[in-house]
């Protein structure tokens, strides 16, 4: 376990040395403050619009940080040829992958905390209330969603080129977020094998929309989601992350590194 | 070297000539105030109206605090735009709330579980929170300034629900600039003058113009069409005449109010209700005449 944490530590240090997070955070802050300064019909108490814009930026930024960080881990090690000295140490390939995954996931979590603290500050300055439980649930579920996406990206990084991997993961993630829950509804209106295939796809994909509770916090549904449901969603997220990581380990185990 | 200098000079002259030719045209376009609209039209084309519709839908979703059907669900069970219905005074959908409360049974466990993470209760914004819809309504107007219903909905929420009559009036005047002959906008503007400033003379004038415009715009239309689209807007005529009756009653011109009521009765969907009001007003006039004698 200590080997996995050692690899993860390197990934976390890499994130705060790189400029990606800082640039995205500053952009999020600037755009949100700009949005907050716009007054529609001379009303300065409008808050949901600002919250929505801020959360969209947070979701986009977090997705970019998670995918780009995870996608470059293995290819960069191979390109720089640092993978050889790393694997020469008493560490298994699956431990390297797991360490990379854990590092990316923890680093994304740390970035999310900063983003959500900013969001809570903006929201509280306008609404004069701070539903901490709801914000914590939103952050937690968002983090679980990133866990699935990072695992998928790690799988892609051992099978595809970095550019193809990033593009495909973005398309899949955004596609599932926007369309995932409607696939079965569309499948029911289709006839023949295409309907069956779409229905099978609906049950097979990880439903990332479970983790998107933006609408609840934008519109001030302050009653927290039952904790049992949050726990179930977390288990669901872990299961998919484990599946993608296991697949990545299987591919990486037999992968030629040079 | 000399040839290069001459070529450079020639290019400079061409640039200057083009600038002199184009600048007045650009200035004229700016003065007409169409610059931003044209830029948007150029960038988005007819997609502007589609985007404006989406933003109006977004405002309606805000009106329901986030509980709103997606395009897939809308196709499955068409739902009216409650926000626009509230603005036009058709608020009888409130009676259907119990129907909306009960969600249709989930098709599978994924849909059932997903419902724990989205709003499932049907509510409407109230108590000043209607302001949250304003950014989307403003953006929708910016994208499609020809859509009269968006002005009416926004003005209703600004004036009647939030008490921002000045902003409502300003918006309606902006709408009239983009849609000069709209009896709908004139009716809303007269309503704003009557309710906010109690300026009876101005409200009467605007309602009278609205009545003329109604005859110009609506009368040539067929009384009924199969889909209901493009048919004569009798409800608007009732509203305009009702407004004129209100103004005349407030001004104490009972005879004039009675005159408008009679026209209203001839065009009303429920003439018996108007007749009762006519009888009451007639009795009042008679009583007043008796007292004078």
pLDDT of residue A155: 95
pLDDT tens-digit map of B237-248:
999 999 999 999
Q: Which residue of B has its CA nearest to A178?
A: B70
Output the average pLDDT for chain B. 83
Residues in chain B: 293
**How many CB atoms are closer than 10 A to CB B223?**
8
pLDDT tens-digit map of A158-183:
988 999 999 999 999 999 999 998 99
CB contact under 8 Å between B131 and A220, yes or no, is no
CB contact under 8 Å between A41 and B164, yes or no, is yes
Supply the ipTM of this predicted assembly.
0.83
Percentage of residues of chain B with pLDDT beyond 90: 31
CB A141 within 8 A of CB A84: no
CB contact under 8 Å between A47 and B70, yes or no, is no
pLDDT of residue B36: 58
CB contact under 8 Å between B65 and A186, yes or no, is no
pLDDT tens-digit map of A67-77:
999 999 899 88
pLDDT over threshold 70, residue A192: yes
Residue B100 confidence class, pLDDT cut points 50, 70, 90:
low
In the stretch 110-129 of chain B, residues with CB closer than 8 A to chain A read 110-111, 113-114, 116-119
pLDDT of residue B39: 67
Q: Which of A75-79, A130-134, B77-81 has the lowest mean pLDDT?
A: B77-81
Mean pLDDT of A250-254: 88
pLDDT over threshold 70, residue A55: yes
Please give, rounded to a whole number of angstroms, the shortest distance from the CA of A251 to a CA of chain B: 30
Mean pLDDT of A49-67: 95
Q: Quote the CA–CA distance of A44 and A38 in Å, as a whole number.
A: 8
Count residue pairs from A and B with Cβ separation < 8 A: 81
pLDDT tens-digit map of B25-69:
888 876 665 555 666 667 777 788 889 999 999 999 999 988 887
Residue A242 confidence class, pLDDT cut points 50, 70, 90:
very high
Query: Looking at beta carbons, which residues of chain B come within 8 Å of A232?
Result: 113
pLDDT of residue B88: 67
Please give, rounded to a whole number of angstroms, the shortest distance from the CA of B168 to a CA of chain A: 9
pLDDT over threshold 60, residue B79: no
A14, A93, A142, A41: which is closest to A251 by C-alpha?
A: A93
pLDDT over threshold 70, residue B9: yes
> DSSP letter string over B6-48?
HHHHHHHHHHHHHHHHHHHHHHHHHHTT-HHHHHHHHHHTTHH
Q: Quote the CA–CA distance of B240 and B215 in Å, as a whole number.
A: 11
CB contact under 8 Å between A233 and B110, yes or no, is no
pLDDT over threshold 90, residue A20: no
Mark out chain A residues that contact chain B at CB-CB < 8 A: 38, 40-43, 45-49, 141, 181-182, 184-186, 188, 202-203, 207, 209-213, 215-216, 218-221, 225-226, 229, 232-233
Output the average pLDDT for chain A. 91
pLDDT over threshold 70, residue A2: yes
User: What is this structure's pTM?
Assistant: 0.83
pLDDT of residue A81: 86
Percentage of residues of chain B with pLDDT beyond 70: 84
Residue B93 confidence class, pLDDT cut points 50, 70, 90:
low
Mean pLDDT of B99-108: 71
In the stretch 48-77 of chain B, residues with CB closer than 8 A to chain A read 62, 65-66, 70, 72-73, 76
CB contact under 8 Å between B117 and A41, yes or no, is no
B185, B183, B190: which is closest to B206 by C-alpha?
A: B190
> DSSP letter string over B144-186?
-TT-HHHHHHHHHIIIIIT--HHHHHHHHHHHHHHSTT-HHHH
Interface test with A, best of B67, B110, B140 (most A CBs within 10 A): B110
pLDDT over threshold 90, residue B220: no
Q: Quote the CA–CA distance of A15 and A209 in Å, as a whole number.
A: 26
Q: Where are the alpha helices (DSSP H) in chain A?
A: 2-17, 20-37, 48-79, 83-88, 93-127, 132-159, 162-179, 183-188, 193-204, 214-218, 227-253
Q: Quote the CA–CA distance of A139 and A51 in Å, as a whole number.
A: 14
């Amino acid at each position: 376990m200590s080997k996995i944490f050692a690899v993860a530590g390197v990934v976390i240090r890499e994130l705060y040395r790189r400029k990606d997070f800082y640039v995205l955070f500053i952009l999020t802050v600037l755009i949100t403050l700009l949005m907050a300064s716009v007054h529609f019909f001379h009303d300065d108490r409008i808050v949901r619009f600002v919250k929505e814009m801020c959360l969209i930026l947070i979701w986009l930024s977090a997705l970019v940080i998670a995918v780009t960080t995870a996608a470059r881990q293995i290819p960069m090690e191979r390109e720089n040829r640092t993978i050889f000295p790393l694997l020469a140490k008493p560490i298994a390939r699956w431990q390297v992958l797991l360490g990379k995954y854990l590092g990316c996931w923890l680093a994304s979590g740390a970035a999310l905390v900063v983003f959500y603290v900013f969001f809570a500050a903006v929201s509280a300055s306008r609404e004069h209330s701070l539903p901490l439980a709801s914000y914590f649930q939103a952050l937690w579920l968002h983090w679980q969603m990133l866990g699935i996406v990072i695992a998928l990206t790690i799988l892609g990084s051992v099978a595809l080129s970095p550019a193809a991997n990033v593009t495909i993961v973005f398309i899949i993630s955004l596609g599932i977020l926007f369309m995932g829950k409607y696939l079965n509804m569309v499948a029911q209106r289709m006839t023949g094998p295409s309907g069956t295939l779409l229905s099978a796809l609906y049950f097979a994909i990880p439903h990332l929309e479970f983790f998107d509770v933006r609408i609840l916090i934008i519109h001030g549904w302050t009653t927290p989601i039952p904790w049992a449901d949050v726990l179930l969603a977390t288990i669901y997220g872990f299961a998919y992350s484990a599946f993608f990581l296991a697949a990545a380990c299987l591919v990486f185990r037999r992968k030629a590194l040079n | 070297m000399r040839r290069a200098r001459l070529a450079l000079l020639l290019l400079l002259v061409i640039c200057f000539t083009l600038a002199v030719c184009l600048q007045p045209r650009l200035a004229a376009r700016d003065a007409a105030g169409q610059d931003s609209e044209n830029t948007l039209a150029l960038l988005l084309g007819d997609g502007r109206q589609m985007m404006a519709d989406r933003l109006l839908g977004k405002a309606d979703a805000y009106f329901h605090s986030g509980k709103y059907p997606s395009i897939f669900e809308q196709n499955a069970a068409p739902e009216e735009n409650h926000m626009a219905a509230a603005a036009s005074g058709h608020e009888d959908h409130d009676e259907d709330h119990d129907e909306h409360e009960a969600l249709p049974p989930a098709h599978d466990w994924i849909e059932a579980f997903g419902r724990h993470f989205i709003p499932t209760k049907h509510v409407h914004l109230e108590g000043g929170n209607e302001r949250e819809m304003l950014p989307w309504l403003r953006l929708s107007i910016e994208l499609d300034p020809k859509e009269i219903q968006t002005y009416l909905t926004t003005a209703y929420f600004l004036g009647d629900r939030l008490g921002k009559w000045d902003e409502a009036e300003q918006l309606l005047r902006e709408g009239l600039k983009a849609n000069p002959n709209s009896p709908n906008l004139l009716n809303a503007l007269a309503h704003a003058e009557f309710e906010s400033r109690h300026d009876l003379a101005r409200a009467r004038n605007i309602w009278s113009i609205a009545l003329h415009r109604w005859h110009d715009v609506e009368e040539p239309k067929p009384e009924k069409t199969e889909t209901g689209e493009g048919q004569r807007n009798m409800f608007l005529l009732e509203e305009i005449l009702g407004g004129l009756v209100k103004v005349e009653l407030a001004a104490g011109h009972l005879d004039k109010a009675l005159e408008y009521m009679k026209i209203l009765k001839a065009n009303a969907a429920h003439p018996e209700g108007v007749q009762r009001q006519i009888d009451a007003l007639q009795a009042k006039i008679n009583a007043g005449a008796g007292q004078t004698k």
